[in-house]
Amino acid sequence: MAMQKVVIFGTGEIAELADFYFTHDSDCEVIGFTIDEAYIKQTRFLGRPVVPFERLTETFPPQNCSLFVAVSYSGVNDLRAKKVAVARTHGYQLASYVSSRATTFAGLQINENCFVLEDNTIQPFAKIGANVTLWSGNHIGHHSVIEDDVFIASHVVVSGGVRIGQGSFIGVNATLRDHVKLGKRCVIGAGALVLEDQPDFSVVAPRGTERSPVPSTRLRRI
């Protein structure tokens, strides 16, 4: 069976990770990279060609390959969503990656440009939108809905029946109580405990642990 050929948008750390995962844990072959022409600093990345996104169809036409947009949560996921939209208008199918070390169940549909890393548990009846990133180690509870363009960092607990609105970002170690609803483009900070619904554009940002005025050299016990 022929391997699916994929071009990755990006030449940063996430693109490097995407190349590793697609190469070592999927039936895809990464054949090149692309970014906006103004940001091209080298013509090759990880041994493969880097071509301008504006002229991608000339080198890698959409009938010959898929595209994966390896962009972070910049602009509350807006940049990634815009590049996905442009790729669609140019006729590209968008590839997705789901780790072989993720726990999923029958009936789960993975949509375009999703990136689901190792140790995610996605329980039955959960729904995942398009262009969703689930970094490693998350729990996605039963009957929860993650809308398009969401980025969930590591070790997040999404309880049952939760709804996460389009374009939202959930930081590491956050916990969302069952049946909580987040509006679109919410930002939930690292370690937050969300116990009630949040309207569109909400920011929930708990304070970080304060640094002690006593230096480590004066600690008697550790």
Residue 23 DSSP SS3: helix
Find the helix or strand (DSSP H, E) in which 181 lies: strand 181-182
Can you give the C-alpha Rg of the chain in angstroms?
19
**What are the tokens at 127?**
């729904």
Question: Taking Cα atoms as reference points, which of 122, 166, 174 lies closest to residue 146?
Answer: 166
160 annotated as ligand-binding? no
CA 150 to CA 165: how far, in whole Å? Answer: 8
Q: Report which residue type is found at 101.
A: R
Contacts of 118 (CB under 8 A, 6+ apart): 99, 101, 102, 136, 137
Nearest Cα neighbor of 45 from 17, 73, 71, 65 is 17
CA distance 148 to 89: 17
| DSSP state, residue 12 | S
Residues contributing to the annotated binding site for substrate = 75
